[in-house]
Amino acid sequence: MSRNLRILHCLRAPVGGLFRHVVDLASEQAALGHEVGVVYDARTEAPAAEPGLTLLRRLCSVGVHSIPMPRLPGPGDIAAYKFIKTLAKNNNIQILHGHGAKGGAYARLAAARLRAERRRSGTHTDGKAADLPRVYGFYTPHGGSLHYSPGSIAGRVFLGLERYLAKQSSGLIFESAYSARIFDDVVGKGFCPSVVIPNGVGPSEFETVPPQDGAAQFLFIGELRQLKGVDVLLEALALLRHAKPEARLEIVGDGPDMAQFIALSKKLSLEEAVKFHGRLPAREAFKYGHCLVMPSRAESLPYVVLEAGAAGKPMVLTNVGGISEITTGTGMILLPPEDAEGLSAMMNDFLVQPENYFQRAELLRTRIAGQFTIERMAAQVTDFYLSVVKR
C-alpha cells in the first residue's frame, strides 16, 4: 500500500475533546499529503464546532459529511452505517478510523463488510477488474462504552458489543495507557494490534496567556457535571475562604449539572466569590484565573491539562485517568479525588507559595513540547496504520 493513504474518520457528536482530536488528526494527515474525509452526526452540530468544521472542509479532499446518527442503538443506525459504507466504497477508502463508541461501530462494521465484498468480487461497480485496496478498520474509544459498569445491564450490553466489534478491528488506538488498561479489564485483550498514542497540542498553544486585571485566584474549565468534581471544588473554596476570604473562583463551561452547582454555591454563601461564565475556548478562558483547578473524579487524557500546561498555567489536579502520564517527571503533586479538605489545602499552598507551582508549570510545558504535540500524534497514528497494513 502507498504511504499516501485514503482515510475516513467517523465520529458522532462534533463537541469536546473527541472532536478536537479528530480535527487535529485529520488536518495534520491532510497536510502530510493523505486524502482525508470526515463524517459526523448532523443532529448535534453546535456553534462552537464551526471553526473546526470550516478547517476540515478546507483541508479534507474526501469531504466533510453529516448524517443523522442516533445516540443510542436503534433502527437509525442502519441508514448511518450504509451511508458510511457507500461513502468509503465510492471513494476507495483504505482506512476507516472510528472515534467514540458510535463512530467506532460504524467504521469497523463498514470496513469488515467492504473487505468481504472486495474478496468476493475483485471488481469495480462498473464490472471492470480492479486492484482494489484492502480496507482496514481502526478504533479510538475516547471513553464511551468504557464508562459503563460491567455488572450493570447496560454495561453487559454495550461491553458485549465492544467485544464483538473488537474482533472486527484492524487496530486499536488509545490516547492513554489508562484507557488501554480499562479496555483490557472490561472488554478484553489480544483481539488485534493496539498502541497508546497521546493527544497533542499545536505550536500556537505554547504562547502564554497572562491573567487579566482583577483575575480570580482560581479557574475551572470543563463540563459542568458531577464527574468533573465541581461540587468538591466549591466545598474546598468555602473551606479556603475561612483563612483566605479574598479567594475567588471563575467557572467556565456548561453541562447538565450547572443549576445544581449554582445552587450549591449559594448554599455555601459563595455568591460573591464564584462566577459562572458558560462555555468558552480554553485559551480565551485562561485570562480569568491565575491557577487552573481540575478536581475530576474521572478522566482519560484531558485536553485542558495539555492546553493549560502548554500555556505555562499553574495547576492543581486530581490523580485520575491519564493525568499522571502527562505530569510525570515534573514534580507536580496530584490529589486524590473527593477530598475537599486536601484540595482546599493545596489551593491555600498556591496562594502562599505560588513560585513552586510556576516552576512545576515550566517543567510541564517543556515535557508537553517534547511528548504531546499534534505533529507527533498524527505521525504516530499514521505509522500505526501502516504497520498494521504491512503485517
Q: What is the pLDDT of residues 244-259, one digit of tens each?
A: 999 999 999 999 999 9
Question: Which pLDDT value is given to residue 47?
Answer: 81
Question: Which pLDDT value is given to residue 128?
Answer: 47
Question: Which pLDDT value is given to residue 1?
Answer: 42
Average pLDDT over residues 263-280: 96
Q: What is the pLDDT of residues 215-227, one digit of tens each?
A: 999 999 999 999 9
Question: Which pLDDT value is given to residue 230?
Answer: 98
What percent of the chain clears pLDDT 90, i.e. is strictly above it? 83
Query: What's the pLDDT band for 391 if we cut at 50, 70, 90?
Result: confident
- The grid coordinates of residue 80 equal 448511518
Residues whose CB is less than 8 angstroms from the CB of residue 148 and which lie 6 or more positions away in sequence, other chains included: 154, 155, 158, 159, 186
Mean pLDDT of the residues in the chain: 93
Question: Which pLDDT value is given to residue 154?
Answer: 75
Residue with cell 475516513: 8
The DSSP 8-state label assigned to residue 290 in this structure reads: E
Coil, strand, or helix at residue 10?
strand
Q: What is the pLDDT of residues 40-69, one digit of tens each?
A: 999 887 788 999 999 999 999 999 999 999
Q: In the predicted model, is pLDDT for residue 188 greater than 90?
A: yes
Q: In the predicted model, is pLDDT for residue 129 greater than 50?
A: no
Burial class (CB in 10 A: 0-12, 13-18, 19+), 55: middle
Does this model's pTM top 0.95? My answer is no
Q: What is the pLDDT of residues 196-241, one digit of tens each?
A: 999 999 999 999 999 999 999 999 999 999 999 999 999 999 999 9
Q: What is the pLDDT of residues 302-335, one digit of tens each?
A: 999 999 999 999 999 999 999 999 999 999 999 9
Residues whose CB is less than 8 angstroms from the CB of residue 121 and which lie 6 or more positions away in sequence, other chains included: none
Question: Which pLDDT value is given to residue 153?
Answer: 77
Q: What is the pLDDT of residues 378-389, one digit of tens each?
A: 999 999 999 999
Q: Hey, what domains does the chain have and what are their CATH numbers?
A: 6-200+373-389 (3.40.50.2000), 203-371 (3.40.50.2000)
Cβ–Cβ < 8 Å for 220, 251: yes
